[in-house]
Amino acid sequence: MPSTTRRHEPQIGRSAVGTSPCGSMRPLKVDYRCLPEGLAIKPVSTAASRGFAVVTHLPRKVRLTIVLTATSILVIVNALDYADFLAAVPKHSDFFLYYLAARVGLNRGWAAMYDPNIYLPALWQASHRWMPYLTPPPMAWLAVPFTFLAYPVALTIWSAAMFGALLLAWRILAPGSRLDRFAHLMATLGLYFVQMLLRLGQVVSLVMAAIAGCWWLIRHNKPLLAGMVLGVMVLKPQTALLVPLTLLVAGYRRVFVGWALVAVPLTIASLLAIGVQGIRNFEYASYIVYYLPKLTLVSVNWVFPGVPAVAIGVIALGLTLSTAWRARRRGPELPIAVGLVGSTLVTPYLNVYDLTGLILSAWLALRVGLQPWQKVLLVICYVPLVFANADSWPVPTIAVRCAWLVALFALSARPRQMWLPRLDDLGPRARRVVVLPAYRAEKTLRDVVAGIPRGEADRILLVDDASLDRTAEVALELGIDVIKHPRNLGYGGNQKTCYANA
């Protein structure tokens, strides 16, 4: 008999149900509004594996060939520009800003790295560059070990680490087959701002890897550790500013606690390290940066200052939190995806390479499953992002972010799609179905299924009561029929679903 650990949260159990005529299983796509209230089935659609391709009549191989050919050209151009930049002006990378800030902080105190009267002359003398330091203190602390190395060696190690971090994020999040994931990688490296991210040695790559790791740990039922990994975003907070909040709104409280355990102490330590004078220096440096020549930001307040920026920010925040709320118990994909997009619309300071979070947002949304018009929108949005670094393109990039935010809001409102078995009557012979009521049974499910004697059951049906772990996914991997409730109906509701559908 099924066992329970607490009220309304049944763990996995097993009951034998007699005489149900079952035959071969063929997928039938349905809408859960056609089912009894509260009944849904975990999506197993391969829509996510189609990548950026538009649903057309072209064969899949033809579509992938077009994507790979176009992006290969972009990647080659970007690679040549990358090599030329590092060969010509290696100290114009943002890593040198971190490197110099760490040296200034060690020699003059951490408040001094934000003082334009100290930092800017040192930067000009070393690289003939004029750029105040505005990154949080933890980034300078992270760069301290590199100050004991010659700069070329430090740059090589750091660049390799940042490229590896981007590859790690891709490896974890990019959906689909190997060829599909390779197409995702080429499309990512084909974007000029991603090439800028890599050649400048921007720490954004590390933040993206942390977000991917956070998602992976949530999916493996380690929410507290996931939140602590997400705490890496303190190195570059504006890239994922709303992600902890969207996860909290979506019900991932332990993830938020884990994030706070890292972010709050680091924030307090940073404030204590720089003191009141450091805060004043930071404010002055922030004022200077807006008047630097040839500086183009893509933040909303830079393009539409004043009331329009406030209005767009408020609307974006509302849509972001609404999407996260509506995505409760649907997995962490949508809350993280919408948090990344919303962050780019509310943060006051955003460089073009900070848009890398949009790529992760697209990968996560593809894992949820997109409608055809949303896939078309992905392709359309890719074109402005290719030219996002052009001085005249901040407005199109804002339009892209707004459109994608609306698309994610629509995705959260759409009823989840499910796959039901279509049953073919094979005759009068009775069939035996074993039903498994389950809640958070990812770790025990394989052992339970292995314990069912061969020949005892013709079919196995698992009913998942809105688990946040991978119970349903593991069941599908084992070839079990799966029904997933969109919310926890308690043990009685789970049993009713088991018997009614066996």
**Considering only 42-51, 146-155, 159-168, 332-341, which range has the smallest mean pLDDT?**
42-51
Q: How confident is the model at residue 296 (pLDDT cuts 50, 70, 90)?
A: confident
Tell me the residue type at 196.
M
Structure confidence at residue 310 (pLDDT): 94
Q: Residue 410, Cα to own-chain centre: how many angstroms?
A: 18
Residue 13 has what pLDDT?
46
Residue 162's pLDDT is 96
Q: What is the DSSP string of 64-106?
A: HHHHHHHHHHHHHHHHHHHHHHHHH-GGGSHHHHHHHHHHHHH
pLDDT band of 223, cuts 50, 70, 90? very high
Q: Report the distance separating Cα 426 and Cα 23, nearest Å.
A: 6
Measure the CA–CA gap between 239 and 356, rounded to whole angstroms: 8
In terms of pLDDT, which residue wins out, 474 or 27? 474
Task: Give the pLDDT of residue 18.
Answer: 36
pLDDT of 321 > 50? The answer is yes
Predicted pLDDT at 11: 42
Across residues 338-353, what is the average pLDDT? 93
Q: Strand, helix or coil at 4? A: strand
* 210: Cα separation from own chain's centroid: 9
- Per-residue pLDDT at 254: 95
Q: Which residue has the higher pLDDT, 96 or 478?
A: 96
Rounded to an integer, the average pLDDT of 340-364 is: 93
Give the domain ranges of the chain. 4-43+417-501, 48-413
Q: How do residues 172-194 score in pLDDT, each as one tens digit? A: 999 888 888 999 999 999 999 99
Q: Is the per-residue pLDDT at 278 higher than 80?
A: yes
pLDDT, one tens digit per residue, over 366-379 is 988 888 899 899 99
370 with 412: CB under 8 angstroms? no
pTM above 0.75, yes or no: no
494 pLDDT tier (thresholds 50, 70, 90): confident
- The string of pLDDT tens digits covering residues 62-81 is 878 888 888 899 999 999 98
- State yes or no: pLDDT of 51 exceeds 50: no
Q: Tell me whether strands 459-464 and 433-438 are parallel, antiparallel or unpaired.
A: parallel
Nearest to 333 by CA among 474, 473, 235, 161: 473
CA distance 192 to 74: 8
Biggest CA pair distance of the chain: 89
Helix (H, G, I), strand (E, B) or coil at 464: strand
pLDDT at residue 467 greater than cutoff 50: yes
**Cα separation, 308 vs 301, whole angstroms:** 8
Whether 361 has a pLDDT exceeding 60, the answer reads yes
Q: Does the structure show a pLDDT above 60 at 212?
A: yes
Q: How much is the pLDDT for 58?
A: 66
Average pLDDT, whole number, for the chain? 83
Residue 448 pLDDT level (bands cut at 50, 70, 90): confident
Is the confidence at residue 477, as pLDDT, over 60? Answer: yes
Evaluate whether 31 touches 415 at the Cβ level (below 8 Å): yes
* CA–CA separation, 29 and 432 (whole Å): 25
